Amino acid sequence: MESGLYYLFLAYTILWVINFGYIFFLGKRYKDVQRELEHLEKIVSGK
């Protein structure tokens, strides 16, 4: 039973680490592209 709880805890920890890791990775890419887009829009509107 004790080892069952250990594996259960391990599985759910890894599950959420992968999920939040992906969401964080997606959010970071989103912010980077948004920043680049804003920068390029400024250049184009300034011409």
Q: Which residues bind another protein (CB under 8 A)?
A: 1, 3-5, 7-8, 10-12, 14-15, 18-19, 22-23, 26, 29-30, 33-34, 36-37, 40-41, 43-44, 47
Nearest distance in Å: CB 21, another protein: 9
1: which DSSP letter?
-
Q: What amino acid occupies position 1?
A: M
Q: Is the dihedral of CA 38, 39, 40, 42 positive or negative?
A: positive
Nearest distance in Å: CB 20, another protein: 11
Nearest distance in Å: CB 29, another protein: 6
For residue 29, what are the CA distances in angstroms to 11, 34, 36? 27, 8, 11
